[in-house]
Amino acid sequence: MGSPFGSLLKTFRSERSLSQLGLASKASVSTRHVSFLETGRSFPSREMVQKIGTVLDLPLRDRNALLDAAGFAKTYRETRLDDPQMTDVRRALEMILRRNEPFGAVALDRYWNVVVANAGYAEVHSLLAGHDDIVPYRVETAPKVNVLRALFAPGGLRDHVVNWPACVRAMLPRIEREAHSRDRKTRELADELMAYEGVAAIAREERIDVPPLVVPVELRIGDSTVALFSTLTTLGTPQDVTLQELRIESFHPVDAASEATALALFAAIAAAKKGHQGT
């Protein structure tokens, strides 16, 4: 009968299509030792657990899980973004988001929930969703806006995306990959997205061998269509679970025409707000 650590180690190793010999070679130990660790005949030192986490390139959350399974205290903390200890991080995050104004930029958690958004993102969301549930530069608390639900569910952002099938097709491989996580919430979110009308049909379509590097998001705003593309970035090599799982999505105009159209829309929105405040 295996140990909790051994079972988890085998799972992590298998997910990376790595044999016991491959792991042993990378960790500079014998194949027999890896076998004994997985069957529970041997127990790892803390140093060995940390070495395995590095060799397998595990996310911090999984490294903590491996340490816990081996009976050791977790190494990496998980701090809420609104915690006073994160003041400098919030300031840096705000600086990153502000650099993308007036175009949208948003920090998302591991479940694709909005954590912090800039003014450009909040304005467009309000315009398309019809309600102001995102406040610029505020650390959002539950219930948070989920950007995947907004894109996949009928009646939300989806209704304003001209090339919705192409956007969904581009997102599906990542969603399916994340669905294999041991995290129940991640799997449930993936199942929910696949159940929305039209999504399963797109998933059944033949996959292209080489996905495009950039998939424009064509938004219909009033009588105008704006073509944007997005980039996803992370915060370097943080030593906090929360920070490692943050992803920053920034939107950029595809071409000069789209940039001019978007800037005109932002100017019109600003003028309308100013006029409303003056009345």
Under 8 Å between Cβ of 118 and 126:
no
Q: Locate CATH 1.10.260.40 in the chain.
A: 4-69
Confirm if 21 and 31 have CB atoms less than 8 A apart. Answer: yes
Asked whether the beta carbons of 252 and 110 are under 8 A apart, the reply is no
pTM value > 0.85: yes
Q: Is the dihedral of CA 7, 12, 17, 22 positive or negative?
A: negative
pLDDT tens-digit readout, 118-131: 999 999 998 888 77
- Give the pLDDT mean for 183-194: 93
Predicted local confidence at residue 277, as pLDDT: 65
Under CATH, which number does the domain 4-69 receive?
1.10.260.40
pLDDT-wise least confident of 103-107, 206-210, 242-246: 206-210
Residue 47 has pLDDT above 90, yes or no: yes
User: Tokens 């001209």 label which residue?
Assistant: 162
Q: How far apart are CA 274 and CA 72, in angstroms?
A: 58
DSSP E strand boundaries for 125-278:
217-221, 224-233, 247-253
- Write out the residue limits of the CATH 3.30.450.180 domain(s) in the chain: 84-278
Is the pLDDT score of 1 beyond 60?
A: no
pLDDT tens track for 57-87: 999 999 999 999 999 999 999 999 999 999 9
**84-278 is classed CATH 3.30.450.180:** yes
